[in-house]
């Protein structure tokens, strides 16, 4: 199992969290999504490596943006 964390910008409420969980959860290979609204941290669990681009696209489909680490 693989776990990867992303920081997502723009989430402000429970609906935001649900939208991100649903979109990211539909990415092939993803087995779990945990979202911390306070920090914007999205932790993705998968059976194997999942491309960062796929996760970014799913987050964008939910209406938010993955922030690149600085």
- Give the Cα separation of 19 and 70 in Å (integer): 26
CATH number of the domain residue 11 falls in: 3.30.70.100
Range of the domain at 23: 2-67
- Give the Cα separation of 55 and 42 in Å (integer): 10
Residue 4's CB: how many other CB atoms inside 10 A? Answer: 14
Single out the residue of 69, 15, 60 nearest to residue 41, CA to CA: 69
- What is the total count of domains within the chain? 1
pLDDT digits (tens, 9 = 90+) for 1-57: 899 999 999 999 999 999 999 999 999 999 999 999 999 999 999 999 999 999 999
Helix axis angle for 14-25 and 52-61, nearest 10°, is 140
- Give the Cα separation of 53 and 39 in Å (integer): 21
């Amino acid at each position: 199992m693989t776990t990867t964390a992303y920081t997502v910008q723009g989430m402000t409420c429970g609906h935001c969290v649900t939208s991100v969980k649903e979109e990211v959860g539909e990415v092939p290979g993803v087995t779990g999504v945990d979202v911390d609204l306070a920090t914007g941290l999205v932790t993705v669990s998968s059976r194997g490596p999942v491309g960062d681009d796929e996760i970014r696209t799913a987050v964008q489909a939910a209406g938010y943006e993955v922030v690149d680490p600085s």
